[in-house]
């Protein structure tokens, strides 16, 4: 039985805590959150106790922690948890600063603990099957990747202010998908060009950020990746990618709440995509935390690491720089 504590009882903390609590062989011991009420509500509903970070890190019984607190706290908590010998599951990003993220990687390595980063797209059953087939050679050599990533609506300005910008906040996932899908054989980004606009809300421009972006990456092997992103898709959360290979194409489309198709005098109608990430990636969240504990148990290889977090962060930095300067970045 592995004992675990969750840091953060917000939206994503509640998801991970629930999934943890339902895992056989895992005991959710404690919830920590600055809001006593949030911590208490979540702990009670799952049969865990409320605790503090200090107490958790000092508790010899605790094997692992899940860091679901705000981004600014991640690197500090990773470093302290590693020092305390706890295995770590940490939500993305590692840190908005690449050097601090790299420091985390070193701290984890030095402590000899596991640290997995929550790139949940890698655990989505559909995306994962595409990755599997690509690796199996079903469509030959990968040549191009097209990623469509659109949120249903922009977050509040307050959130954007501390987000590090759309490339570090939102595209971090897509940049990780690029690495996962197109660089699985050791290939790497060589050239990146990004363009951005503000088309939905001038307040976003006032914060120096973008709501619509178009990124192109060329790898060392000449593969091409295009990512298109918007903070606002009126029809919901749009999460697709397709990879072209020398022998074919793999496409991963959106998922819908139901499969009902209605035909009437105005046309043929089906469901919009799942509303947002909690719904769209519900299975992925379950499978990712299951993978974390299975791999802790088996001693196998974790499918995401701090190094993946650092690498995606570097690409996000490059995209930010390219978009602001209007010039491509060599990597």
Confirm or reject binding of residue 80 to a copy of itself (CB under 8 A): no
Of 125, 146, 124, 123, give the one whose Cα is nearest residue 240.
Answer: 146
Q: List, in sequence order, every beta strand (DSSP E) within 70-160.
A: 87-90, 115-117, 142-150
Tell which positions 269-298 bind a copy of itself, by CB under 8 A.
269-272
Query: What tokens were used for 162?
Result: 């501390």
Residue closer to a copy of itself, measured from CB, 116 or 194: 194
Cβ atoms of 79 and 103 within 8 Å: the answer is yes
Tell which positions 90-129 bind a copy of itself, by CB under 8 A.
125-126, 129
Residues binding a copy of itself: number (CB under 8 A): 73
Of 240, 19, 266, give the one whose Cα is nearest residue 126.
Answer: 240
> Which of 112, 158, 264, 301 is the binder for a copy of itself (CB under 8 A)?
264
> Which of 3, 100, 232, 314 is the binder for a copy of itself (CB under 8 A)?
232
Distances (CA, A) of 243 to 119, 140, 264, 311, 312: 19, 11, 35, 21, 19
Beta-sheet pairing, 115-117 with 224-230: unpaired
Confirm or reject binding of residue 268 to a copy of itself (CB under 8 A): yes
Least distance between a copy of itself and beta carbon 186 (Å):
17
> Which of 222, 298, 299, 301 is the binder for a copy of itself (CB under 8 A)?
222
The one-character DSSP state at 72 is G
Residues 126-165: x where in contact with a copy of itself by CB under 8 A, - otherwise, as a string:
x--xx--x----xxxx-xx-x-x-x---------------
Please list, in sequence order, all residues whose beta carbon lies within 8 angstroms of the beta carbon of residue 288, skipping any fewer than 6 positions away. 116, 118, 120, 122, 123
Residue closer to a copy of itself, measured from CB, 156 or 259: 259
Least distance between a copy of itself and beta carbon 188 (Å):
15
Of 29, 223, 218, 19, give the one whose Cα is nearest residue 123.
Answer: 19
Phi, psi of 176 (to 5 degrees): -70, -40
Confirm or reject binding of residue 1 to a copy of itself (CB under 8 A): no
Residues 6-25: x where in contact with a copy of itself by CB under 8 A, - otherwise, as a string:
----------------x-x-
What is the CA angle 221-225-230, rounded to 5? Answer: 160
Of 100, 93, 103, give the one whose Cα is nearest residue 173.
Answer: 93
Least distance between a copy of itself and beta carbon 23 (Å):
11
Least distance between a copy of itself and beta carbon 228 (Å):
5
Confirm or reject binding of residue 326 to a copy of itself (CB under 8 A): yes
Tell which positions 31-70 bind a copy of itself, by CB under 8 A.
45
Collapse the DSSP code of 90 into the 3-class scheme (helix H, G, I; strand E, B; otherwise coil) and give the result.
Answer: strand
Residue closer to a copy of itself, measured from CB, 58 or 297: 297
Residue closer to a copy of itself, measured from CB, 130 or 170: 130
Confirm or reject binding of residue 224 to a copy of itself (CB under 8 A): yes
């Amino acid at each position: 039985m592995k004992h675990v504590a969750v840091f953060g009882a917000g939206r994503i903390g509640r998801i991970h805590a629930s999934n943890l609590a339902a895992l056989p062989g895992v005991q959710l011991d404690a919830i920590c959150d600055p809001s006593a009420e949030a911590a208490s509500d979540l702990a009670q509903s799952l049969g865990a106790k409320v605790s503090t970070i200090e107490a958790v890190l000092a508790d010899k019984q605790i094997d692992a922690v899940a860091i679901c607190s705000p981004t600014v706290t991640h690197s500090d908590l990773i470093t302290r948890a590693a020092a305390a010998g706890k295995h770590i599951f940490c939500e993305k990003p590692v840190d908005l600063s690449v050097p601090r993220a790299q420091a985390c990687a070193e701290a984890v390595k030095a402590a000899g603990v596991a640290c997995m980063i929550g790139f949940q797209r890698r655990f989505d059953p559909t995306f994962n099957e595409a990755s599997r087939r690509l690796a199996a050679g079903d469509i030959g050599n990968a040549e191009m990747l097209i990623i469509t990533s659109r949120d249903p609506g922009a977050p509040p300005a307050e959130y954007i202010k501390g987000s590090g910008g759309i490339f570090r906040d939102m595209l971090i996932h897509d940049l990780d998908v690029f690495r996962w899908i197109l660089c699985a054989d050791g290939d790497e980004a060589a050239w990146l060009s990004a363009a951005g606009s503000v088309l939905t809300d001038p307040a976003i421009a006032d914060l120096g950020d973008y709501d619509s972006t178009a990124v192109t990456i060329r790898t060392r092997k000449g593969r091409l990746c295009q990512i298109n992103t918007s903070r606002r898709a009126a029809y919901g959360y749009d999460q697709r990618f397709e990879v072209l290979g020398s022998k074919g194409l793999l496409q991963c489309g959106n998922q819908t709440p139901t499969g009902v198709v209605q035909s009437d005098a105005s046309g043929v109608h089906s469901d919009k995509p799942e509303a947002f990430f909690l719904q769209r990636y519900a299975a992925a969240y379950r499978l990712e935390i299951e993978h974390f504990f299975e791999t802790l148990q088996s001693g196998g290889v974790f499918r995401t690491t701090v190094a993946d977090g650092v690498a995606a962060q570097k690409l996000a930095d490059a995209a930010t720089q390219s978009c602001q300067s209007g010039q491509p970045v060599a990597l």
